[in-house]
Homo-oligomer: A and B are copies of this chain.
Amino acid sequence: MTAQARGLHARVLDSLGPAITAGEYPPGSVLRTDELAQRFEVSRSVMREVVRVLESMHLVASRRRVGVTVRPTEEWNVYDPQVIRWRLAGADRPRQLRSLTVLRSAVEPVAAGLAARHATAEQCAALTECALGMVATSRGRQLEGYLVHDIAFHRIVLDASGNEMFARLGDVVAEVLAGRTHHDVMFEDPDPAAVTLHVRVAEAVREGDAARAEALTREIAEGALRELDILAPPPAPTT
């Protein structure tokens, strides 16, 4: 489904990027532009542009006489949507999902609180509609329909918060939710408690009750974390 003929640049990038984030070229590895150009059968111009983009993502560093070095993971621009997608498609997907879910658990409650203060009438209406849509699709294995409403719901909350940084996390949340539905265990209908919580968040936002919207969203987030703990156990305790 991912477009096949978007130009050489994009194709090479979509091949090399995931390879790097997947650890196929571990940090410290040295690549050479010319060699890569040969391997991918493109001209040096194209390969140079690819390397420049990877460099801007802090995945690699390019130095004269040395080559293109893969940077340590801690330096990657892990907020780059492209990097997020590459990593979610790769092997350490579970760890990635956990990081992102924890991030959600921090951000979304605060965003919901702000949304309660700032949401427009249209946003409140859309939110309620999403919540109802979730209720309607919460039984009978209508997972795809549920997912659509779930994503829309969280996106609206983030948008309505009025904070640009929150709003831009909409795509990330969408990826996480979609990932949960599609890849991880999801043979049963969504947790009824979660559905109810969404309805109540929509209510709280509509009524402008920031504290309640925040608290309820925190419950949703905690539920998501618990769910994750069951599916993919957290990293081994240090003790």
A32 within 8 A of B: no
A130 within 8 A of B: no
What's the number of copies of this chain in the assembled complex?
A: 2
Q: Is the CB of A163 within 8 A of B99?
A: yes
Q: Is the CB of B78 within 8 A of A80?
A: no
Complex CA–CA separation, A84 to B118 (angstroms): 24
Q: Is the CB of A102 within 8 A of B114?
A: yes
Q: Is the CB of A103 within 8 A of B9?
A: no
Complex CA–CA separation, A52 to B9 (angstroms): 9
Chain B residues lying within 8 Å of A109, measured Cβ to Cβ, are: 106
Complex CA–CA separation, A47 to B189 (angstroms): 52
A45 within 8 A of B: yes
Q: Mark A36-80, 1 if CB is under 8 A from B, else 0.
A: 000000000100110011011100000000000000011001111
Chain B CB count within 10 A is highest, among A56, A74, A162, A166, for: A56
Interface set of A (CB-CB < 8 Å, partner B): 9, 45, 48-49, 52-53, 55-57, 73-74, 77-82, 99-100, 102-103, 105-107, 109-111, 114, 118, 120, 162-168, 235, 238
| 6 chain-A/chain-B pairs, Cβ below 8 angstroms | A78-B168, A99-B164, A102-B163, A103-B107, A105-B110, A162-B235
